[in-house]
């Protein structure tokens, strides 16, 4: 059947059709739609076996649960944005050492140009670091097809597989032709050798040796893969290597008469033999086009003679940072830019902003007024819609680094003598990575106020269920915050005086306190009201 | 046949519905299609755009090159101008005339409109009023804009109307009729090539 699918949706459909038993994920742009597509599929499924698809609390819990499902012989999928790889890195790296039983695919969606992210780290480094095969599709159809190929390979070679996509693959739509057969899930064969999953040094050493030995097999697979293709040109002095969607920008600009030797790479480990072939066919200059960091550009000089010039992001032939475009690839190929209009200077920036009527707004209005009463307040923000409190008109936060850092940074600042030291964190971010930091605060009775801005959802990524909804007070008390210092307010203009008073009291209390500002996200509220109306 | 289209607007205005209808009509014609969308952070009231490419031959890049777009369809006049670098020198701008002012430094509206009018090939319409006059709700303004863009799309008027009908079919006959009326209003008030 033909479908018009986002890259993310093609991955999801590919996994479903390959007999997926469970998807484990924490939302994050541009990966969120994979899990949402599987959730929608599950809500409509009438036949066949169920697929587990509830959101995980963070990427580490997701990765570990998926490994558990794989241990039991079933096919599992883990999805996250690139920075999620940092959170699950311990589980991910060690899953490469245990190997897998049922097929295990980890999808990392990178965001070069940082459309919705704090950095543009390239997940291929993680794949190389863990020494496992990586797939990087160049089209939505490849993304779909690769899922089955990768599950089979994962089971055949007992290794997790990393599927790396970037924003323009994840969030671009094209026609995908899918299989129509009913998906079959794996039966449950217990692992042949459970020692493989017990990483005591004695066993781990053996596993690691096996993983090192497997590298030649992984690489041979990549050399023979139909997703990688080398062709010698009529003018083989110049060669071009293009990975993932960079291939599309190359094809957009490539002219037959150029006659360069071309190497398309969509499966790793990098197929060295193919670039060596390019050189023995006469390449003296190799242009490397890759989305993200210069991973391959840094790698290939080690495999080829030093007289061959390697050009790419490091040489300045392509921009060092940011995502590729048809324009910069055009320039790298030595073509003139297309005739175009000048940009118009009347246009001004339109930055994203908190929605009108959002509870975070009222929370910041109160916090800003109270903070002004102290000579040098420090407010450590975190990741979510409320990070927009850094911009006009609030200018309310003094830091925002990675999920959970507000709590632990405010603790470190308080340890250094800062007062008031305040953390602002969303409900989903709090359960993702804030709880352990709060325990650190409690254990040293750090003089901090942790303000949880609870909109009852994971707002920034589109309103997914939030793991702590209905449990936040219990969690805080359970971790050991004094009950009288776990306060709840409703962020509405009419409650301004009360909220300010609560904040003052908790700032003045010498110890760890939590203030929960709770009001539903207005986007999810609208959706809930609409759904109610439709029900009658 | 090949058309490269930039759809522009402000987060929440509904540019993706325009893409859905064009996409439906294009696929029905057996054309190839690629559509890069914007999800995530910028949807929070920031500027949003989508690159829509349709062609009778396979399409390589998901993104349109600077100077490559045949057409900018924008639900907001300043947002139309944000992408003029991507427009071919003789490309078309089809835009709503109504500003969406959610920033303190929004430019002078008259000057802004003069900038749009300085493009030889432009259509600027009060799409919300046209939607209401056609008996459709203000949310159908995007369909009015789509109607005005039909002559530049390279897909027949009747084929586009069929596309609108298919896209809205599951929402019932009344919704279909209103959206068709909105598209027709845009088509009638636009420019015929
Ligand atoms: C490690 C990691 N995972 C996922 C994300 C993507 N992400 C950014 S904000 C956010 C949601 C935050 O939700 P919440 O804390 O409840 O705040 P809200 O957006 O609802 O205000 C997510 C999932 C990220 N930036 N980093």
pLDDT in tens, chain A (536 residues): 899 999 999 999 999 999 999 999 999 999 999 999 999 999 999 999 999 999 999 999 999 999 999 999 999 999 999 999 999 999 999 999 999 999 999 999 999 999 999 999 999 999 999 999 999 999 999 999 999 999 999 999 999 999 999 999 999 999 999 998 899 999 988 888 889 999 999 999 999 999 999 999 999 999 999 999 999 999 999 999 999 999 999 999 999 999 999 999 999 999 999 999 999 999 999 999 999 999 999 999 999 999 999 999 999 999 999 999 999 999 999 999 999 999 999 999 998 889 999 999 999 999 999 999 999 999 999 999 999 999 989 999 999 999 999 999 999 999 999 999 999 999 999 999 999 999 999 999 999 999 999 999 999 999 999 999 999 999 999 999 999 999 999 999 999 999 999 999 999 999 999 999 999 999 999 999 999 988 87
Q: How far is the CA of A458 from the centre of ligand 1 (A)?
A: 6
Cβ count within 10 A of residue A492: 14
Q: Most A CBs within 10 Å: which of B36, B42, B78, B118, as the mutation test of the A interface?
A: B36
Q: What is the DSSP string of A156-196?
A: HHT--EEEEEEHHHHTEEEEEE---SPP-----PPPS-GGG
Q: How far is the CA of B122 from the centre of ligand 1 (A)?
A: 41
Task: State pLDDT tens for residues B46-99.
Answer: 899 999 999 999 999 999 999 999 999 999 999 999 999 999 999 999 999 999
d(CA A324, CA A66): 33
d(CA B17, CA B25): 13
Query: Which of A398, A404, A410 has its CA nearest to residue A427?
Result: A404
A222 lines ligand 1 (CB under 6 A): no
**A150 with A76: CB under 8 angstroms?**
no
Assigned token pair, A517: 């500002």
Which of A167, A458, A524 is the pocket-test mutation for ligand 1 (most atoms within 8 Å of CB)?
A458
Q: Which atom of ligand 1 is nearest to the CA of A425?
A: 15
Go through the domains of chain B in sequence order and give each one's CATH number.
2-189 (3.40.920.10)
What is the pairing mode between strands A161-166 and A134-135?
Answer: parallel
Residue ranges of alpha helices (H) inside A268-325 are 272-280, 295-299
pTM above 0.80, yes or no: yes
Q: Is A118 in the B-facing interface, judged by CB distances under 8 Å? A: no
CA dihedral A15, A20, A24, A27 (to 10 degrees): 30
Cα–Cα–Cα angle for A378, A380, A383, rounded to 5 degrees: 160
Cβ count within 10 A of residue A231: 12
Q: Residues of A367-384 as b/e, b for ≥16 C-beta within 10 angstroms?
A: bbebbeeeeebbbbbbbb
Assigned token pair, A453: 């801005």
Q: Where does A351-494 show beta strands of DSSP type E?
A: 378-380, 421-426, 449-454, 486-489
Go through the domains of chain A in sequence order and give each one's CATH number.
2-213 (3.40.50.970), 229-336 (3.40.50.920), 359-525 (3.40.50.970)
Name which residue sits closest to atom 20 of ligand 1, judged by CA: A459
Residues in chain A with CB shorter than 8 Å from the CB of B87 are: 340-341
**A440 with A408: CB under 8 angstroms?**
yes
A127 lines ligand 1 (CB under 6 A): no
């Amino acid at each position: 059947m033909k479908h018009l699918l986002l890259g993310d949706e093609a991955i999801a459909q590919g996994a479903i059709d390959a007999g997926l038993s469970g998807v484990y994920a924490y939302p994050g742009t541009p990966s969120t739609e994979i899990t949402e597509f599987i959730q929608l599929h599950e809500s409509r499924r009438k036949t066949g076996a169920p697929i587990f698809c509830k959101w995980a609390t963070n990427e580490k819990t997701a990765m570990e649960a998926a490994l558990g499902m794989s241990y039991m012989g079933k096919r599992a999928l883990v999805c996250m944005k690139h920075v999620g790889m940092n959170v699950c890195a311990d589980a991910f790296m060690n899953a490469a050492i245990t190997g897998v039983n049922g097929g295990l695919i980890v999808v990392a969606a990178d965001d070069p140009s940082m459309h919705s992210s704090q950095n543009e780290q390239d997940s291929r480094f993680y794949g190389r670091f863990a020494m496992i095969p990586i797939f990087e599709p160049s089209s939505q159809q490849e993304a779909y097809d690769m899922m089955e190929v990768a599950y089979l390979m994962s089971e055949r070679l007992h290794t997790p597989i990393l599927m790396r996509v970037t924003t323009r693959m994840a969030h671009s739509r094209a026609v995908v032709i899918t299989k129509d057969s009913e998906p079959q899930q794996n039966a449950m064969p217990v692992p042949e050798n459970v020692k493989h999953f017990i990483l005591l040094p004695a066993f781990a050493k053996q596993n690691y040796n096996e993983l090192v030995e497997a590298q030649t097999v992984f690489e041979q697979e990549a050399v023979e893969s139909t997703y990688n293709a080398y062709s010698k040109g009529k003018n083989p002095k110049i060669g071009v290597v293009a990975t993932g969607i960079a291939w599309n920008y190359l094809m957009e600009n490539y002219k037959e008469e150029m006659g360069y030797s071309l190497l398309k790479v969509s499966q790793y480990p990098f197929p060295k033999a193919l670039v060596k072939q390019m050189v023995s066919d006469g390449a003296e200059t190799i242009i490397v086009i890759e989305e993200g960091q210069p991973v391959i550009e840094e790698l290939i000089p080690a495999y080829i003679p030093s007289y061959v010039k390697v050009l790419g992001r490091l040489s300045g032939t392509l921009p060092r940072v940011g995502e590729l475009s048809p324009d910069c690839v055009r320039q790298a190929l030595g073509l003139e830019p297309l005739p175009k209009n000048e940009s118009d200077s009347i246009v001004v920036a339109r930055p994203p902003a908190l929605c009108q009527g959002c509870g975070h707004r009222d929370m910041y209005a109160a916090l800003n007024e109270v903070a002004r009463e102290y000579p040098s307040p420090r407010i450590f923000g975190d990741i979510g819609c409320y990070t927009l409190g850094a911009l006009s008109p609030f200018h309310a936060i003094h830091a925002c680094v990675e999920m959970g850092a507000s709590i632990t940074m405010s603790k470190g600042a308080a340890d250094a003598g800062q007062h008031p030291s305040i953390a602002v964190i969303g409900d989903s971010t709090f359960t993702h990575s804030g709880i352990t930091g709060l325990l650190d605060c409690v254990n040293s009775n750090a003089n901090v106020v942790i303000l949880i801005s609870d909109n009852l959802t994971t707002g920034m990524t589109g309103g997914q269920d939030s793991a702590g909804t209905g449990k936040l007070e219990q969690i805080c008390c359970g971790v050991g915050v004094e009950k009288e210092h776990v306060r709840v307010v409703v962020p509405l203009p009419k409650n301004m005086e009360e909220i300010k008073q609560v904040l003052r009291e908790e700032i003045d209390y010498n110890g760890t306190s939590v203030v929960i500002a709770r009001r539903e996200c207005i986007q999810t509220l609208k959706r809930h009201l609409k759904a109610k109306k439709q029900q009658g | 046949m090949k058309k490269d289209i930039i759809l522009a607007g402000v987060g929440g205005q509904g540019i993706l519905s325009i893409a859905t209808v064009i996409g439906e009509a294009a696929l029905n014609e057996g054309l190839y299609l690629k559509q890069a969308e914007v999800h995530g952070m910028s949807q929070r009231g920031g500027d949003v755009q989508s690159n829509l490419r349709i062609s009778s031959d396979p399409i390589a890049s998901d993104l349109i090159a600077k100077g490559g777009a045949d057409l900018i369809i924008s639900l907001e006049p300043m947002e139309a101008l944000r992408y003029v670098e991507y427009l071919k020198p003789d490309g078309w701008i089809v835009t709503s005339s109504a500003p969406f002012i959610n920033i303190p430094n929004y430019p002078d509206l008259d000057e802004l409109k003069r900038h749009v009018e300085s493009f030889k090939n432009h259509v600027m319409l009060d799409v919300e009023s046209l939607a209401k006059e056609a008996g459709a709700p203000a949310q159908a303004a995007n369909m009015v804009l789509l109607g005005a863009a039909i002559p530049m799309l390279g897909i027949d008027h009747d084929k586009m109307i069929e596309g609108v009908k298919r896209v809205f079919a599951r929402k019932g006959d009344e919704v279909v009729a209103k959206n068709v009326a909105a598209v027709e209003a845009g088509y009638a008030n636009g420019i015929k090539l």
